[in-house]
A and B are shown apart, each in its own frame.
Chain A
Amino acid sequence: MTGHVDGNVLAGPLSELFRFDVTTASARCVSCGDVATLACAMVYVEPASLIVRCRNCDDVLMVVVQEPDLVCIELRGMAWLQVPR
């Protein structure tokens, strides 16, 4: 798919993994230190995965791999994730 959407689209896929709405959580980018609400990240939708990139430096924050029988998230690009409660 050409183009991208944003972190709002993660709400459904990540609701399978987390109890809270992850799109309102903030994350810190390992590469550039930018802190942003996940809803503000750039998301590239691939057939079996969602590539989440930093809005500031475009490095990968997170990858969500969706297979018929599992969901896997790779979080290498985040220093931390902070959730409002």
Chain B
Amino acid sequence: MTDTDKPSVWKVGVVAETRTETASGRSIVLDVPGWGGNIAGQHADVRLTAPDGYTAVRSYSVASAGSGDRVQLAVDRLPTGEVSPYLVDDLIVGDQLEIRGPLGGWFVWRPEIDGIEQTGPVQLIGGGSGIVPLVAMIRSHAASDSTAPFKLLYSVRTPDDAFFRSELAEPSRGLDVTWAYTRRAPDGWARPAGRLTRADLEARTFPANLSPAVFVCGPTGFVETVANSLVELGHDPARIKTERFGGQ
């Protein structure tokens, strides 16, 4: 690694592709010379600079995993936000974007640690755009032909608010996907729309006695409610990793 490739150094990415994911969000593929690959679950910092020199920095999880200089982000627009409306509405293919990373070594899943395959069960629980680092873990699991049993519980407002919907509709081998809708469920859906409860978690996730590694990500309120319920259900707090995206 040269000095300019270090995660701490700001690099210039070029937008290679964008895709509308939901009414309020899209994914963005960047080519970032010097990125050098990332572990599933890591994030990047993005920096916008105004003509007067004012800068705004925000963190975005990386949906891609593995080697190479291609990075996929997925961003949800907060209508009053400073940075996300620009990333969702204005950025176009060919534009440059300042980015640094890969960042963070805690909220990550590795198929292998010190040459030993990780075979223990993994429970992923995402709310809204909190799916982004979890999708990276799912892709890493598939790409490595991992035998670790994976379960995803994905909570979204309505069916139209799901990021990576078509990818998750056809889960890879060893992955089980369960959906939960908080505002409007598809017609004929058994579970009525509503926030995730402790009973939902008990019915739809790996039980505590299997000691799964648990990753919870999404809006701060979602993450804290889910993590507290998991502890009440007997999960060891040390096995629950959380990443808060902000908001209430």
Interface residues of chain A, those whose CB is within 8 Å of chain B, are 1-9, 11-12, 15-16, 21, 23-24, 37, 39-40, 45, 68
A23: chain B residues at CB < 8 Å are 104-106
**Taking CB as reference atom, which chain B residue is nearest A42?**
B244
Most-contacted residue by chain A among B8, B57, B242 (CB, 10 A): B8
Contact B104 A8 (CB under 8 A): yes
Of the A-B pairs whose beta carbons lie under 8 Å apart in the complex, a sample of 7, sorted by A's number, is A2-B248, A7-B106, A8-B107, A12-B45, A12-B100, A16-B8, A39-B241
**Given A3-B247, A5-B244, A6-B242: A15 touches B220 (CB 8 Å cut-off):** no
| Residue B245 is within 8 A (CB to CB) of chain A in the complex | yes
Q: How far is the CA of A2 from the CA of B247 in the complex (A)?
A: 7
Interface residues of chain B, those whose CB is within 8 Å of chain A, are 6-8, 43, 45, 53, 55, 57, 59, 100-101, 103-107, 220-221, 241-248
Contact B246 A12 (CB under 8 A): no
Q: How far is the CA of A16 from the CA of B45 in the complex (A)?
A: 12
B55: chain A residues at CB < 8 Å are 68
Q: How far is the CA of A6 from the CA of B246 in the complex (A)?
A: 9
Contact B103 A15 (CB under 8 A): yes
B243: chain A residues at CB < 8 Å are 6, 8
Contact B106 A3 (CB under 8 A): no
Give 10 nearest A-B pairs by CB, closest first.
Answer: A15-B8, A39-B106, A11-B103, A12-B45, A11-B104, A21-B105, A5-B244, A6-B244, A24-B105, A12-B103
CB distance from A67 to the nearest CB of B (A): 11
Q: How far is the CA of A45 from the CA of B100 in the complex (A)?
A: 18
Contact B7 A15 (CB under 8 A): yes
Contact A5 B246 (CB under 8 A): yes
Contact A37 B106 (CB under 8 A): yes
Most-contacted residue by chain B among A21, A45, A68 (CB, 10 A): A21
**Taking CB as reference atom, which chain A residue is nearest B55?**
A68
Q: How far is the CA of A39 from the CA of B244 in the complex (A)?
A: 10
**Given A3-B246, A5-B244, A12-B101: A24 touches B106 (CB 8 Å cut-off):** yes
Q: How far is the CA of A5 from the CA of B130 in the complex (A)?
A: 13
B106: chain A residues at CB < 8 Å are 7-8, 21, 23-24, 37, 39
Q: How far is the CA of A5 from the CA of B244 in the complex (A)?
A: 5
A40: chain B residues at CB < 8 Å are 242
**Taking CB as reference atom, which chain A residue is nearest B105?**
A21
A37: chain B residues at CB < 8 Å are 106
Most-contacted residue by chain B among A2, A4, A12, A16 (CB, 10 A): A12
Residue in contact with A8 in the complex, picked from B8, B43, B221, B248, CB distance below 8 Å: B43
Most-contacted residue by chain A among B220, B242, B246, B247 (CB, 10 A): B246
**Taking CB as reference atom, which chain A residue is nearest B243?**
A8
A21: chain B residues at CB < 8 Å are 103-106
Q: How far is the CA of A65 from the CA of B19 in the complex (A)?
A: 36
Most-contacted residue by chain A among B53, B59, B242, B247 (CB, 10 A): B59
Q: How far is the CA of A39 from the CA of B8 in the complex (A)?
A: 17
